[in-house]
Amino acid sequence: MIDDSTKRDILASIGMEGAASEENKSINIVLGNRLNLQHIAHMGSGMLSLRPHKVKLFKLLLSQPEALTGLSPLAVRCCLCGRIISYPAWYYAIQFAVNHLHFFICFDRDSHDKPSTRCYRKG
């Protein structure tokens, strides 16, 4: 049998909508995709290119970041090609007041020092 304090804790946890703590309750985690590429890439005509000042901010990750441990690894996809991320991968996060954008790009073995747009497919 569940006592009243446990029941309140369970209902409070459900009310936080999966956030691990009260301070993370109002944060929306948004994974980067083609709809919000304008934050990191030039979306003009011609070939897609990453913004030079954003390229310097990408980090090479060997595993899923702690901020996204609540997400399924199958939900984390490359923002350029849409493939499921296998590590190592390039990672960049933008934190606004409520929305936290997380961008992942496939690791290109020919470009070890910076992310590339080689995996990008139009369509």
Predicted pLDDT at 43: 77
Q: Residue 100: what are its φ and ψ, rounded to 5°? A: -115, 115
Is the pLDDT confidence value at 38 over 60?
yes
Is it the case that residue 54 has pLDDT exceeding 80?
yes
Over residues 72-101, the mean pLDDT reads 90
pLDDT at 113 over 80: yes
Is residue 78 pLDDT above 60, yes or no? yes
Lowest pLDDT segment from 9-18, 54-63, 66-75, 94-103: 9-18
98/28 Cα distance (integer angstroms): 6
d(CA 36, CA 38): 5
Tell whether the model's pLDDT for residue 16 goes beyond 80: no
Torsion of CA 101, 28, 78, 104, to 10 degrees: 40
Using an 8 Å Cβ cutoff, are 100 and 75 in contact?
no
Q: Domain boundaries in the chain?
A: 25-123
Residue 60, pLDDT score: 94
- Average pLDDT in the chain: 83
* Nearest-angstrom CA–CA distance, 99 and 30: 7
Residue 59 pLDDT > 90: yes
Please list the alpha-helical segments (H only) found in 20-116.
52-55
